[in-house]
Amino acid sequence: MIPSRTRPPRRRATALVVALTAAATLTACSTAGPDAEPSTAPPSASTATDATEEPTEDPTEEPTEATDPLADRPTEPPAQAVDAGTVAAGAPATASGTGSAAVTFVRDGEFAVVVHLDCGDCAGTRAFMAPTEVTPYPGTLGEATGSYLMDVFEDSDPQQSIWLETPGDWSVRLESWNDLPPVTGAQQGTGSTVLRLDGTATSAEVSWTPAGPGDSFQGRYFGVTREASRMFGDSEAFTETFDLVLPGVLAVKTAGAWSVTPQG
């Protein structure tokens, strides 16, 4: 059975909320109207006191600077363009090259695309999903050889692109998540992968051990129904049971060692 894809929130709705908020602010600021007389009443005692009070500051507290989580992401595609062709049911697409490149492809059908990236030791390599109308900023795919889930949104543009930043040789194979070989029983491995889990289990025990400092685990599960979808992760080793109603697709993103054991 085909896993359910996720329908994203409409950007138009977000814009409408912003517009309504701005309108409410303007209304509140102009309640008196342009012909209103300025107030001549003296401020109340409490108002005067508040105006002369200086804010209390903790001299030992250091100011914190807000960090932009997107600051290290590219804003423009690489100069080299590589066309991988069309990805369709039963018909994967491939591409290869050397150096940074924008790899474009067309998704022919309603499915999510799995990216199998091979960049050797991947020194200095980063892979991003190019911005779209659904996600207007580059989304991080990975920084190592492995398999990654590209697009899980309904109504997304069939024309898609991967931005590769790398000094070395690379190759990609792109296929529908419905073409992944189904697997049953306990699974284990190291590094990022995408699994098409088959069976009738209603939960799964997931264990993870980080590869080293700074490593993390991100799991995204998509079942036959939208309600079965799950997201979970951690930056510390764990063994935990999650409600994963099979069959479905599980995308694991990590450099560490993991295992998935269906239960129930």
> Could you report the per-residue pLDDT of 71-97, keeping only the tens digit for each?
788 989 999 999 999 999 999 999 999
Tell me the whole-structure pTM to 2 decimals.
Answer: 0.74
| Residue 30 binned pLDDT confidence (cut-offs 50, 70, 90) | very low
Which DSSP string corresponds to 29-74?
Answer: HTTT-TTPPPP-SPPPHHHHHHHHPPPP--TTPPPPPP--TTTTS-
Is it the case that residue 12 has pLDDT exceeding 80? no
Q: What's the rounded Cα separation, in Å, for the pair 5 and 167?
A: 34
Ramachandran assignment for 146, one of left (phi > 0), alpha (psi -120 to 50 degrees), beta (any other): left
Which CATH code is given to the segment(s) 75-177? 2.60.120.380
Structure tokens that stand for 4 in this block: 């359910």
Please name the residues in contact with 242: beta carbons below 8 A apart, sequence gap of 6 or more.
203, 204, 206, 219, 221, 230, 232
Give the distance, in angstroms, between the CA of residue 33 and the centroid of all CA atoms in the same chain.
46
Residue spans in the chain of domains classed CATH 2.60.120.1050: 180-264
* Strands 146-149 vs 139-142: parallel, antiparallel or unpaired: unpaired
What one-character DSSP code corresponds to residue 226?
G
Q: How many CB atoms lie within 10 A of CB 252?
A: 26
Is it the case that residue 2 has pLDDT exceeding 80? no
pLDDT 10s digits, 140-185: 899 999 999 997 877 788 999 999 999 999 999 999 999 999 999 9
| pLDDT attached to residue 5 | 59
Rounded-to-10 torsion of CA 172, 174, 177, 182: -60
The Cα-based distances of 246 to 44, 179, 180, 255, 260 in angstroms read 67, 17, 15, 25, 12
Is it the case that residue 100 has pLDDT exceeding 60? yes
Which has more pLDDT, 197 or 51?
197
Mean pLDDT of the chain: 80
| pLDDT attached to residue 62 | 61
Is it the case that residue 207 has pLDDT exceeding 80? yes
| pLDDT attached to residue 191 | 97
* Strands 113-118 vs 169-176: parallel, antiparallel or unpaired: antiparallel
The Cα-based distances of 169 to 38, 49, 94, 114, 127 in angstroms read 71, 69, 14, 20, 13
Q: Which CATH number fits domain 180-264: 1.20.1440.230, 2.60.120.1050, 3.40.47.40, 2.40.50.100?
A: 2.60.120.1050
Q: How many CB atoms lie within 10 A of CB 22?
A: 10
Structure tokens that stand for 160 in this block: 């898609």
pLDDT 10s digits, 108-127: 999 999 999 999 999 999 99
| pLDDT attached to residue 84 | 98
What φ, ψ does residue 170 adopt, rounded to 5°? -155, 160
Is it the case that residue 45 has pLDDT exceeding 50? no
Which DSSP string corresponds to 121-150?
Answer: T-TT-EEEEPP-SSS-SPEEEESSSEEEE-
| pLDDT attached to residue 64 | 57
